Structure 1
Amino acid sequence: MILSNRAQGYIFVIITMCIWGGFTLLSRLSAKWHIAAWDLTALRFALAFLILMPILIYRKDTSFLWKKEPLILALLGGVAYCMTVYSAFYYAPAAHAAIFLNGCIPLCTAISAYLLFRFPFDRNTWLSLIIMIFSLLVMGYLLAQQSHHPFGLGDGLFLLSAMIWGTFTVLLKQSSLSAWQAMCSVAIWSAIVYIPIYILFLPKHLDDAQWQHLAIQTLFHGVLVVIVATLTYVEAIKRLGAFKTGSIITLAPFIAAVLAAPLLNEPLNIAIVCGLIGMGIGALQPWRWFAALKQ
């Protein structure tokens, strides 16, 4: 039986959602398994490099790597993003990642597009901005009732990660690279730049973690996140469109944040729930769904 393009699109969306949701849970779990952010970053890009570079050499398809775009994208979406986001999970729970990272990415992308290329905010972006700011204010007020320091280093790192990813997304959209070329560029150049620095200068704590945990994290981040999720995401966009695909997949980190409560024994109080709901609405923009249904 041959599936329709729409059915194939939803299959690709489900695969991507599972991987993106797993990214939130496993990244937080890496901190509990005593795997340092710089170790996980090195393992991720080393494995991806060992898989992708032989393929490119075999296909004699390496010319695109020697442009400035791949290097810039790798420094932002590869090295800088991984170091900040993996470090953030050491200081903040998964629910905070859904709020300050995934919830803020659409907003940071819109801001980066305006600052870099003067793309104006549309009505939907302004509405999202208002909802997100209001949600953060409510969440901050509720958290302040429980602690004099409601936000910590992890939240700041998640927000910085969202800014980096938003800038990366805008530059990627303006580049001439295909999805395959962009994915290979980030993985390969990140390995070339980061791994020598890691070997020569950064502390290594691989002995602090069990080899089974290292293997799980390396395979998941090096293969599923870097390679598989990128390709399934692009294939889903081809079949369902960017808005529908992005809206559905954005749910994954928020679902992961809820699952983190029983799976990782992380707190999920009323303040965090308010933040999740508000940032989820701002990121998903459900009013656009209703408008599309009326047409």
Structure 2
Amino acid sequence: MSPRIQGYAFVLITMCIWGGFTLTARLNALWNISAWDIVALRFSLAFLILMPILLYRKEASFLLRKEAFILAMIGGVIYCLFAYSAFHYAPTAHAAIFLNGCIPLCTAIVAYFLLNQAFDKHTWASLVIMIIAICLMSILMYRETGIPFGMGDVLFFISAILWGMFTVLLRKYQLSAWQAMSGVAIWSAVVYVPIYLLFLPKHLTDPTPIHLISQTLFHGIFVVIIATLTYAEAIKRLGAFKAGSITNLAPFIAALLAVPLLGESLSIAMICGLVGMAIGALQPWRWVLHRDSLEARLAEQKKQSK
């Protein structure tokens, strides 16, 4: 396959896993798997797989860098506890809006404060669209239920801030995808699992064994390891904008699939929020501008060749 076809293949794999994360994280709540438990199981399994590989390849020295530890605490332990907990309070559509929809915006804001990176015109346009979408959705939700936001929405938004911080710090520290993924998984397990075993509540006997095993395998292997690597490979072949735009569709597709698969409902408020946040996060106008710019360059090159 050509690099371009390979890139789209990696994007497809990433989309399936990211969409699956949204659905299966909601299933954790329905199957009585607590956030404390799934975070411990997720990172324990990833640790058992990755640590022997790093030792065999003699590549574990980067784990001693403070950057690897900071990324693990922000994008590993703390992010996962907030994100998984949120699914116990809010359905899948709320995750697409307040988590995945807000991640690009939160990343841009964090980059402004940490890297002094000013907003470009596309970010300002997304900001305006998202604010309008959230305000409209809040008004409609208040009319429907009397409550504009819930606990799950707040937890999802905090998760988006944490992931934005993780993304910006990852860019700043310039660790490779393999180092970032391994560092997050290993340090998260080293720090969190002992605390979990000694102090935190455990409900491992509440869910059925098949549910517990399937969730551990999916989140510990597919989400932590495979999706990280396929996304990095997609960026190499397609570029950050195209790969990121396509994979950002996954949570919004998952929100629609949750209606028939999980029996969730979509209100008018949720539909408005999904549409507005999807437009703001995906920035579809950039595809048009990118295509026009590419066509102009090709025409100029053809003219010069003549």
TM range (shorter): over 0.9
Task: Give the secondary-structure state (helix, strand or coil) at the position aligned to 1:198.
Answer: helix
| 1:138-165 per-position Cα deviation (integer Å, ceiling 9, x unaligned) | 1111111112113110000000000000
Residue type of the alignment partner of 1:48: A
Give the fraction of aligned pairs with identical amino acids, expressed as a percent: 67
Residue type of the alignment partner of 1:268: L
Structure-1 residue corresponding to 2:94: 96
2:273 to 272, 275, 282: 275
| 1:185-236 per-position Cα deviation (integer Å, ceiling 9, x unaligned) | 0000000000000001000000001110011100000000000000000000
| 1:270-292 per-position Cα deviation (integer Å, ceiling 9, x unaligned) | 11011000000000001100101
Structure-2 residue corresponding to 1:158: 156
TM-score (norm 2): 0.95
1:260 to 251, 258, 266: 258
1:75 to 60, 73, 76: 73
Structure-1 residue corresponding to 2:130: 132
Structure-1 residue corresponding to 2:249: 251
- Runs of 4+ in structure 1 deviating by more than 4 angstroms, as ranges, are none
Residue type of the alignment partner of 2:211: H
| 1:111-160 per-position Cα deviation (integer Å, ceiling 9, x unaligned) | 00011121101110000000000000111111111121131100000000
Q: Distance in 1 between matches of 2:65 and 2:184?
A: 12
Residue type of the alignment partner of 2:161: M
Residue type of the alignment partner of 2:209: W
Q: Distance in 2 between matches of 1:30 and 1:98?
A: 17
Corresponding position: 1:203 with 2:201: yes
Structure-2 residue corresponding to 1:141: 139
| 1:219-259 per-position Cα deviation (integer Å, ceiling 9, x unaligned) | 00000000000000000000000000000000000000011
1:107 to 85, 93, 105: 105
Task: Give the secondary-structure state (helix, strand or coil) at the position aligned to 1:206.
Answer: coil
Task: Give the secondary-structure state (helix, strand or coil) at the position aligned to 1:231.
Answer: helix
Alignment coverage as a number of residue pairs: 293
TM-score (norm 1): 0.99
Structure-2 residue corresponding to 1:173: 171
Residue type of the alignment partner of 2:201: P
Q: Distance in 1 between matches of 2:166 and 2:200?
A: 25
Q: Distance in 2 between matches of 1:98 and 1:220?
A: 20
Task: Give the secondary-structure state (helix, strand or coil) at the position aligned to 2:205.
Answer: helix
Corresponding position: 1:240 with 2:238: yes
Structure-2 residue corresponding to 1:45: 43
Root-mean-square deviation over aligned CA pairs: 0.5
Q: Distance in 2 between matches of 1:287 and 1:91?
A: 34
Q: Distance in 2 between matches of 1:4 and 1:168?
A: 32
Structure-2 residue corresponding to 1:11: 9
Structure-2 residue corresponding to 1:231: 229
Task: Give the secondary-structure state (helix, strand or coil) at the position aligned to 2:201.
Answer: coil
- Any stretches of 5+ residues in structure 2 without a counterpart? 294-306
Residue type of the alignment partner of 1:18: C
Task: Give the secondary-structure state (helix, strand or coil) at the position aligned to 2:117.
Answer: coil
